[in-house]
Amino acid sequence: MQFGIIGSGSWATALAKILTDNGNSINWWVRNADTIGYMEKRRHNPHYLRGAYFNLQQLQLSADLKKVVAQSDVLVIAVPSAFVEDALTQLSPDMLKGKKIISAVKGILPSENQLLNNYLAAHFDFPLTDYFTVLGPCHAEEVAAEKLSYLTFSGIDETTCTNIASYFNTEYLNTVVNTDVTGVQYAAVLKNIYALGAGIAHGLDYGDNFLSVYIANSANEMVGFLRRLNNTYQQASDTNNYAASVYLGDLLVTCYSLYSRNRTFGNMIGKGYSVKSAQLELNMVAEGYNASKCIHVMNETVKASMPIATAIFEILWEHLPASEGFKKIETFLL
Whole-angstrom Cα distance, residue 98 to residue 2?
A: 13
Same domain, yes or no: 113 and 199: no
Same domain, yes or no: 162 and 65: yes
Q: Which of 140, 156, 179 is the last residue of a domain?
A: 179
Supply the Cα-derived Rg of the chain in whole angstroms.
Answer: 19
Whole-angstrom Cα distance, residue 143 to residue 96?
A: 29
Whole-angstrom Cα distance, residue 178 to residue 185?
A: 12
Sheet holding 100-103, edge to edge: 59-62, 26-29, 3-6, 74-77, 100-103, 131-135, 149-154, 173-178
Which CATH number is 79's domain given? 3.40.50.720
Does this model's pTM top 0.85? yes
Same domain, yes or no: 29 and 140: yes
Segments forming the whole domain that contains residue 114: 3-179
Closest CA to 186 of 98, 258, 108: 108
Same domain, yes or no: 115 and 256: no
Residue 14 confidence class, pLDDT cut points 50, 70, 90: very high
Residue 167: pLDDT over 80: yes
Residue 267: pLDDT over 60: yes
Whole-angstrom Cα distance, residue 34 to residue 70?
A: 23
The C-alpha torsion from 117 through 261 and 22 to 47, rounded to 10°, is 110
> Pairing between strand 131-135 and 149-154?
antiparallel
Q: Are 332 and 206 spatial neighbours (Cβ–Cβ below 8 Å)? A: no
Residue 217 forms part of a structural domain? yes
Residue 279 forms part of a structural domain? yes
Q: Which of 8-22, 118-132, 264-278, 279-293 has the lowest mean pLDDT?
A: 279-293
Residue 237: pLDDT over 60: no
3-class DSSP state for residue 185? helix
Same domain, yes or no: 173 and 310: no
Residue 317's alpha-carbon distances to 192, 266, 275, 294, 328, in angstroms, are 16, 13, 9, 11, 16
Same domain, yes or no: 129 and 272: no
Which CATH number is 279's domain given? 1.10.1040.10
For residue 234, the number of C-alpha atoms closer than 13 Å in the C-beta half-sphere is 0
Whole-number percent of the chain with pLDDT over 70: 98
Q: Are 318 and 328 spatial neighbours (Cβ–Cβ below 8 Å)? A: no
Residue 184 forms part of a structural domain? no
Same domain, yes or no: 234 and 311: yes
The C-alpha torsion from 287 through 308 and 181 to 142, rounded to 10°, is 50
Residue 17 forms part of a structural domain? yes
Helix/strand/coil percent split, the chain, to 5: 55, 10, 35
Whole-angstrom Cα distance, residue 52 to residue 39?
A: 11
- Residue of higher predicted confidence among 107 and 329: 329
Q: Is the dihedral of CA 133, 139, 141, 144 positive or negative?
A: negative
Residue 285: pLDDT over 70: yes
Residue 101 forms part of a structural domain? yes
Q: Which of 179, 211, 232 is the last residue of a domain?
A: 179
- Residue 296 dihedral angles phi and psi, to the nearest 5°: -60, -45
Residue 236 confidence class, pLDDT cut points 50, 70, 90: low
Same domain, yes or no: 158 and 246: no
Q: Which of 157, 179, 201 is the last residue of a domain?
A: 179
The structural domain count of the chain equals 2
Q: What is the mean pLDDT of residues 32-53?
A: 94
Residue 88 forms part of a structural domain? yes
Same domain, yes or no: 149 and 194: no
Same domain, yes or no: 125 and 193: no
Residue 71 forms part of a structural domain? yes
